[in-house]
Amino acid sequence: MVNDPVCGMDVDPKTAAGQSNYKGRTYYFCSLGCKKAFDKEPEKYVKTKDHSQHHHLRVRK
């Protein structure tokens, strides 16, 4: 199962209503409406997971 990037619903890639490729990655959708929304504004729904830019701060007591 994967998450529909538009609505967050779990989707089985084998039975997804649609799919789109964006920046070398395939995204799957629960409905054609979610696919249309993604295709119109993919950057709105793609969450960049660049861990080199993400730092966890630990508070010491």
End-to-end CA distance of the chain: 41
- Structure token pair of residue 53: 């830019």
The band of 40, judged by pLDDT with boundaries at 50, 70 and 90, is very high
Q: Look at strands 10-11 and 2-3 and give their pairing.
A: antiparallel
Residue type, 28: Y
**Per-residue pLDDT at 52 exceeds 90:** no
- Structure token pair of residue 14: 């084998």
For the chain, what are the domain ranges?
2-41
Question: What's the pTM value of the predicted model, to 2 decimals?
Answer: 0.75
The band of 58, judged by pLDDT with boundaries at 50, 70 and 90, is low
Mean pLDDT of 6-29: 97
